[in-house]
Amino acid sequence: MNIAYMRVSTSNQDNNNQLHKIKEYCSTRNIKINKNVEIVISSRKNSKQREIDSTLKLLKENDKLIVSALDRLGRSTIEVMTIIKDIQKKGIELHLIRESLVIGKEVNAVTTMFLTVISAMAEMEKNLISERTKASLTRLKSQGVKLGRNYKNAPATSMYDVHQEAIKEMLLNGSSITSITKTLGIGSKQSLSKYIKKHSLK
């Protein structure tokens, strides 16, 4: 199966330009598209909401995923690299039209260099997020915000309520749900995700 994946961020945009580029690309390479996945959703949403996860589940070894550009896949370098690794693991061919790259099981010198650069950028992004998170926590602590379970004060409707500002800060800095859970030292990834969604913090 060959899938064309297209995503725009707002309802004021459309996928026609991306679709045109993909059709033109596939026509010159004799690639038949079996399914179009067209998404209108912000890049700030997670990969499940952007349907990239469900799209990859449809593809098997030697299938093709065609996108107009690398930035259509994810919202950050870290996420894009994670998706690319998943694609390689499954033996799927990823066609990046703007970047003029095909990433598959067989890796040439150009692809290797590209992936090395992306990996380095992802690692740098992780370090920057970590530094921003630590700086934010230091600032919040200096303002009297306490991290950890709040036993002394009156019970809140959620254990996360007292930490809402800290959670917002860390989300803005790009911290993952897992890292925020570890930093706070309370709850679980699942309960924090529900809290963030319920209170529209992301």
- CATH number of the domain to which 19 belongs: 3.40.50.1390
Do 100 and 135 share a domain, yes or no? no
The H-or-E segment that residue 95 falls in is strand 93-96
Do 100 and 171 share a domain, yes or no? no
For residue 124, tell me if it sits in a domain: yes
**What is residue 154's predicted lDDT score, i.e. its pLDDT?**
44
Do 40 and 83 share a domain, yes or no? yes
Got the DSSP string for 51-86?
Answer: THHHHHHH--TT-EEEES-GGGT-SSHHHHHHHHHH
Q: Count structural domains, the chain.
A: 2
Q: One-letter amino acid identity for 73?
A: L
Q: One-letter amino acid identity for 199?
A: H
What is the pairing mode between strands 35-40 and 2-8? Answer: parallel
- Could you read off the pLDDT of 89-138 as tens digits, one per residue? 999 999 999 989 999 877 778 888 888 888 787 777 777 777 777 777 77
Do 11 and 98 share a domain, yes or no? yes
Do 99 and 176 share a domain, yes or no? no
Whether the pTM exceeds 0.85: the reply is no
Which residue is listed with tokens 């260099």?
A: 113
Do 27 and 73 share a domain, yes or no? yes
> Percent of the chain, pLDDT > 90?
24
Distance CA 141, CA 133 (A): 12
Do 169 and 97 share a domain, yes or no? no
- Domain carrying residue 13: 2-106
Task: Assess whether pLDDT exceeds 70 at residue 23.
Answer: yes
